[in-house]
A and B are shown apart, each in its own frame.
Chain A
Amino acid sequence: AQSVTQPDIHITVSEGASLELRCNYSYGATPYLFWYVQSPGQGLQLLLKYFSGDTLVQGIKGFEAEFKRSQSSFNLRKPSVHWSDAAEYFCAVGGRNSGYALNFGKGTSLLVTP
């Protein structure tokens, strides 16, 4: 069975501080991994994706994520958070085993304080 766990429901960081959002997955084959962001009342925007190759992937808005197969993790990072980064972040896994449907984590809500 495939699943995605985002252990942190809420995270609060100060503007300018670094950020790491955790994501662990369970998948029976080579996973395709994604991070999406959702602002209130909006749809999902793709931040970055991992299919293969370099395990450190760069995304939009200064985000990056590192795929660690041994830990079944795909954590999202940003060196310096801006107030506009406040949103809901979703990790998702997909691939051949799921017919390429995305299996999402429950999300992490990010609050940025001044």
Chain B
Amino acid sequence: KAGVTQTPRYLIKTRGQQVTLSCSPISGHRSVSWYQQTPGQGLQFLFEYFSETQRNKGNFPGRFSGRQFSNSRSEMNVSTLELGDSALYLCASSLAASGGNEQFFGPGTRLTVL
């Protein structure tokens, strides 16, 4: 069974631009979560989607948004990029949004904002 895939793996943008990251969950998984990882703040939860609905959201500004498609694939978008948005963005999928279901992480997208 294929794991969680994320595209692109690396991205370089300049301040003010916007970016879209993509995540394909493990087949059969309906929940997709996004996390931001930085050296200073560590791993922080962005949001979680289940059956195309955002069910949970972390403490990030509205510039960060996401969506999920009917095939469970998910995208996250960051508008008006800032230098501080440089990070590794990790996507995780699980069977359902339940603590009893472990989250499987993809390799991440490394975003660099210049």
Contacts and interface: CB of A to CB of B under 8 A. Distances in A.
Contacts, number: 57
A32 interface: yes
B105 A104 contact: no
Classify the interface of chain B: helix, strand, loop or mixed.
strand
Nearest to A43: B105
A101 B33 contact: yes
B90 A43 contact: yes
B96 to A, nearest CB: 9
B105 A101 contact: no
B108 A43 contact: yes
Contact of A46 (B55, B90, B97, B102): B102
B64 interface: no
Interface string A56-97: 000000000000000000000000000000000010101110
Interface in A95-109: 95-96, 98-107
Interface string B53-71: 0011010000000000000
What is the interface residue range for chain A against chain B?
Answer: 20 to 34
Interface of A: 32, 34, 36, 41-46, 49, 51, 90, 92, 94-96, 98-107
11 contacts: A41-B107, A43-B90, A98-B56, A99-B55, A101-B45, A101-B58, A102-B43, A102-B45, A104-B35, A104-B42, A106-B42
